[in-house]
Structure 1
Amino acid sequence: MSAPRLVVVHRDPETLAAAAAARLVTTVTDVQSTGAVPHVVLTGGSLGIRLLELLRDSPARAAVDWSRLHLWWGDERHLPSGHPDRNETQARDALLDHVDVDPALVHPVPDDADGTRTPERAAEEYAAELARHRRPGDGVAVPRFDVVLLGMGPDGHVASLFPEHPGLQADGTVTGVRGSPKPPPERVSLTFGALRAANEVWFVVGGEDKAPAAAMALRGAGERQVPAAGVEGTRRTLWLLDRAAAAQVPPALVRPASP
């Protein structure tokens, strides 16, 4: 039996990002209350970074023990550390530089500091880092992520897994991406296998340009055509949408959020 899939619609992108931030606080604190150290995979993009900014500015952030939280990235642009286009840089500016994280528990994707590290080498190094933090009983070559946050492109791509791209067929847990249809052309991404190891996958998607892809993914499109359709959590998959992104989703699939 497949894990539950829930579609929740918020009125606009700002409300969506705030609601997702609140959900994340609740989930992380629930895991921490058991004595466990959560593993969360962050995403980039405008909504993914806005979520972190709202969390930074929320009083609720004090409920999280930031020193007991593993942070990973679903994908990264293969650029030097500190480059403004890196997801890591944006996440640090938005939140991580403002809370008491343990640097040993923050796991950025290896960068291209001097032009000698290829995307493939960075992928191998990140896969090894993931494997080092695999917990007993995880059953996969990565930690059993508590939450994977994902955006989605208008073409249905997630992380740096693009429609009909060779990276969709990558083995292992991390792949180097070349020839990305979205700049920059070189990237590093978790694979389907790694993303599907999450307890929960949350798609945080806003904008009318995402509506066709969201509807296709939720109607069961093939993952080669719409990669978002190929990622589900082992316990639950949440599609957190604004009204514009949900415009073409079958009403029977949707649970409206509070006004």
Structure 2
Amino acid sequence: MTAGRLVVVHPDAGVLAEAVAARLLTRILDVQSVRSPVHVVVTGGTVGIRTLAAMASNPVLGAVDWSGVHLWWGDERFLRDGDPDRNETQAREALVDALVASHGLPAGNVHPMPGPSAVATPEEAAQAYAAELATFGSPVPAFDVLLLGMGPDGHVASLFPGHEGLDAIGATVGVHGSPKPPPERVSLTFETIRAAREVWLVVNGADKAGQAAAALAGGDLHEVPAAGAVGSERTLWLVDAAAAGR
């Protein structure tokens, strides 16, 4: 345990993705034994999508009552529907479309962030997503699990070091000038992230070891945004050995 955060180290990125997939499926089942619906926030990035793909092939997948699960996103690139760089597109290919087609997940329980196919600006997308979130809670549903990746600079979702979005008020924020392309994005705010019951940071790679150590040491979120990602009940850092190197 480090500053209220539980750190679990896995030997490599492949095992990490498989372990997180199994952990998430088990967590959904555990929550469904006491309440419904279950609200889960998924993440993009290499290890995030690899985790969703690992869920698709896990035999426990069929034990979940997917009709009682809602899927949300922590952030999205402001790109048109179907763009291969959208987190939604990658998640659908890895898992979500199969859940809808074959496992009883209602299409209406999938909540992607809108892009320029539907709205004109990231701010409009953020407002629309905030309104959708508010229909399931006040101001947002109490997410049962919120998954996040972390970049080598310590960013989570689309909240980057030194960026004004770090201090955004409200459920969501439109992002401009992202240091990582594309420059326009939509993101949950720290206010929303911290409303989750459990926040899981899934981190792999030696290039992230320094920022992981800084975040776990309680660094300033303006310098290491991942330091501000905490759940109301539990915060898990699920990392591979390379990311745990510092």
Give the alignment's TM-score, normalised by structure 1.
0.91
1:119 aligns with 2:122: yes
How far apart are residue 36 of structure 1 and its match? 1.2
* Structure 1 residue corresponding to 2:236, chosen from 235, 238, 245: 238
Counterpart secondary structure, 1:95: helix
Q: What are structure 1's unaligned runs of at least 5 residues?
A: 135-139, 249-259
Q: For the residues of structure 2 that align with 1:159 and 1:178, how far apart are their CA atoms?
A: 14
How far apart are residue 58 of structure 1 and its match? 1.2
Q: For the residues of structure 1 that align with 2:236 and 2:117, how far apart are their CA atoms?
A: 36
How far apart are residue 3 of structure 1 and its match? 8.9
Structure 1 equivalent of residue 34 of structure 2: 34
Query: Paired residues, what number?
Result: 241
CA deviations 1:175-203 (Å, max 9, x no partner) are 00000000000000000000000000000
1:25 aligns with 2:25: yes
How far apart are residue 35 of structure 1 and its match? 3.9
How far apart are residue 20 of structure 1 and its match? 0.5
CA deviations 1:139-163 (Å, max 9, x no partner) are x510000000000000000000000
Structure 1 equivalent of residue 15 of structure 2: 15
Matches within 5 A, 1:1-259: 4-99=4-99, 100=103, 101-113=105-117, 117-134=120-137, 140-248=138-246
Q: What are structure 2's unaligned runs of at least 5 residues?
A: none
Q: For the residues of structure 1 that align with 2:4 and 2:220, how far apart are their CA atoms?
A: 19
How far apart are residue 239 of structure 1 and its match? 0.3
Q: Percent identity?
A: 61
Residue identity opposite 1:21 in structure 2: A
The alignment yields a C-alpha RMSD, in angstroms, of 1.3
Q: Is the 8 A contact 2:160 2:166 kept in 1?
A: yes
Q: Is the 8 A contact 1:3 1:235 kept in 2?
A: no
